[in-house]
Structure 1
Amino acid sequence: MSNTPTIPAETARHVLAVFGHGGVRPGRFGEQLISLIAGADLQNMARLADAFPAETEAVRMAQYDNDGIAKLQAIAAGRAAA
Structure 2
Amino acid sequence: MPTAPQIDSETARHVLWHYGRPGGFRPGSFTQKLMEAIDAADVIHTARLRAAYPELVDAMNAAANDADGTARLTAIANGSASKEA
Q: TM-score range by the shorter chain?
A: over 0.9
5 Å-filtered alignment, 1:1-82, equals 2-22=2-22, 23-82=24-83
Cα shift at 1:5 = 0.5
TM-score by length of 2: 0.90
Question: Distance between the aligned counterparts of 2:41 and 2:53, measured in 1?
Answer: 13
Cα deviation, 1:45-64, whole Å, max 9, x if unaligned, reads 11101000100000010111
Identity value in percent: 45
Question: Distance between the aligned counterparts of 1:7 and 1:56, measured in 2?
Answer: 10
Which amino acid in 2 is paired with 1:5? P
Cα shift at 1:43 = 1.5
State the Cα RMSD in Å: 1.3
Gaps of 5+ in 2: none
Question: Distance between the aligned counterparts of 1:2 and 1:65, measured in 2?
Answer: 20
Cα shift at 1:41 = 1.3
TM-score by length of 1: 0.93
Gaps of 5+ in 1: none
Aligned residues: 82
Which amino acid in 2 is paired with 1:37? I
